[in-house]
């Protein structure tokens, strides 16, 4: 895996949400989230999980369904928290 801290983002780049997928292991997820939190304070993070969430304070879903992912993104971008299972 490439080191996410080495990526240079333009000052004009704006992000609404970071998504960290299933393929990252727990330690990698936490490391990526740490870099995101340092570079983009306050940026929401959605963690995709199969078992248990690894990133403290992040929103998360227990699903690999594209439909569930879209619902979670809409919920987070509208200011609501997503904590595991979707309504």
What the block records as the tokens of 61 is: 């879903």
Domain count, the chain: 1
Any domain includes 4: no
* pLDDT computed for residue 14 by the predictor: 87
pTM listed for this prediction: 0.84
Range(s) of the domain holding residue 72: 15-82
Strands laid side by side in the 18-20 sheet: 18-20, 45-48, 59-61, 83-84
CA separation for the pair 80, 87 (Å, rounded): 12
Here the CATH number for the domain that contains residue 44 is: 3.40.50.2300
Q: What is the mean pLDDT of each run of 10 residues along the chain (87 residues)?
A: 58 86 94 94 95 94 93 95 78
* pLDDT computed for residue 1 by the predictor: 46
Any domain includes 6: no
Any domain includes 23: yes
């Amino acid at each position: 895996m490439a080191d996410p801290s080495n990526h240079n983002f333009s000052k004009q780049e704006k992000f609404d949400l970071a998504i960290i997928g299933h393929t990252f292991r727990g330690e990698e997820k936490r490391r990526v989230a740490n870099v995101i939190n340092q570079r983009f304070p306050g940026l929401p993070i959605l963690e995709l999980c199969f078992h248990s969430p690894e990133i403290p304070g992040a929103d998360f879903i227990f699903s690999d369904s594209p439909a569930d992912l879209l619902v979670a993104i809409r919920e987070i971008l509208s200011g609501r928290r997503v904590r595991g299972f979707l309504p």
